[in-house]
């Protein structure tokens, strides 16, 4: 699905929330919007005095791994070769072993791939690239917080849940859903590195019953994990759908915004289903995020309560078998 982002449904809303932070992000990244950019409403400042630029520079964004750059270059060629992709993956023994383990999991069909070549054959080159991107992200982004101790385990489960939902509901590309599910919260460990008190913000924001998770982050730190995660995604060359869905994944009004591309809205809606399923899997009775946006997600996906319960039951079984 072609991603067509209209400016009025994207950066303008975020810019109002934290003093032009995402206007600066957009200026530093390749354009994704189709409509012309409106003139900034804030007065211009010099680079030396720009607090937004200073904030961005103070947050350490890991550089794109060379292995990922090689994979993306091959995928961008006119005739991507499974053999060449296999050689790129096999160059890192640890990555190759982890990929085989993932390829053989029940959520990816449960077939027993005995080599990288078989894994690529079973999964397809786009899904292999998505899995490798996730493994590289886990290596590049350490988690230095007790509150986020299970961050990568939860992110991996979410990515698997997104693949399941994408396939089950036949919405979007599973590899795109996988990448979004893994990267949507990557701004959190980066904010932990930048702000010593972010762990408290994370816990307090998670307890918010009505306001968006990102609202408290904005108040305390003048940015949020969705904005930082978007910057990481853009710097790593991830797709436009993934980048913009990360930016909006706590902005559930986007589900009703017809100016925002369906690929982005679908990822946000599926992420709410995945979040509810993960809460069930973890033994929690409810889901604050589902309470905030679940009704909008169901309306967008044309699902009623019975269909949602059946879907979540299936997904719960798949997560336990994973």
pLDDT at 5 exceeding the cut of 90: no
Rounded distance, CA 155 to CA 120, Å? 23
Rounded distance, CA 68 to CA 88, Å? 9
Rounded distance, CA 232 to CA 286, Å? 30
What is the pTM assigned to this prediction?
0.81
Rounded distance, CA 264 to CA 171, Å? 11
What the block records as the tokens of 207 is 């307890």
pLDDT at 286 exceeding the cut of 90: no
What integer pLDDT is reported at residue 53 of this predicted model?
Answer: 65
Query: Any alpha helices (H) in 21-64, and if so which ranges?
Result: 21-28, 51-58
**What average pLDDT does the segment 69-91 reach?**
90
pLDDT tens digits for 101-121? 877 877 666 678 888 888 888
Question: What percent of the chain stands above pLDDT 90?
Answer: 56
Averaged pLDDT score across all residues of the chain: 82
pLDDT at 34 exceeding the cut of 80: no
Rounded distance, CA 39 to CA 109, Å? 50
Q: Which residues contact 309 (CB under 8 A, 6 or more apart)?
A: none
**What average pLDDT does the segment 136-152 reach?**
91
């Amino acid at each position: 699905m072609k991603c067509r982002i209209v400016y009025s449904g994207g950066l303008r809303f975020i810019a109002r929330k934290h003093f032009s932070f995402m206007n600066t992000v957009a200026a530093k990244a390749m354009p994704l919007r189709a409509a012309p950019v409106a003139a900034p409403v804030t007065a211009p400042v010099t680079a030396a005095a720009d607090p937004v630029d200073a904030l961005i520079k103070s947050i350490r964004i890991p550089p794109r791994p060379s292995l990922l750059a090689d994979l993306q270059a091959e995928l961008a060629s006119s005739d991507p070769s499974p053999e060449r992709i296999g050689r790129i993956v096999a160059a890192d023994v640890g990555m190759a072993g982890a990929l085989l383990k993932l390829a053989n999991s029940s959520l990816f069909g449960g077939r027993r791939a005995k080599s990288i070549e078989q894994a690529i054959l079973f999964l397809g080159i786009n899904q292999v690239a998505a899995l490798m991107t996730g493994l590289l992200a886990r290596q590049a982004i350490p988690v230095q917080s007790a509150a986020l101790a299970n961050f990568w385990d939860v992110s991996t489960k979410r990515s698997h849940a997104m693949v399941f939902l994408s396939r089950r509901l036949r919405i979007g590309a599973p590899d795109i859903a996988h990448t979004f599910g893994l990267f949507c919260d990557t701004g959190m460990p980066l904010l932990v590195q930048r702000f010593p008190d972010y762990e408290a913000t994370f816990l307090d924001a998670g307890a918010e019953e009505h306001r968006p998770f990102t609202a408290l982050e904005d108040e305390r730190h003048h940015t949020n994990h969705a904005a930082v995660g978007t910057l990481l995604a853009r710097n790593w060359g991830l797709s436009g759908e993934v980048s913009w869905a990360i930016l909006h994944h706590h902005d559930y009004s986007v589900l009703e915004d017809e100016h925002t591309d369906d690929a982005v809205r679908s990822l946000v809606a599926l992420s709410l289903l995945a979040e509810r399923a993960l809460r069930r899997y973890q033994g929690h009775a409810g889901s604050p995020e589902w309470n905030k946006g679940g009704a909008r997600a169901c309306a967008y996906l044309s699902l009623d309560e019975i269909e949602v319960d059946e879907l979540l039951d299936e997904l719960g079984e798949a997560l336990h078998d994973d």
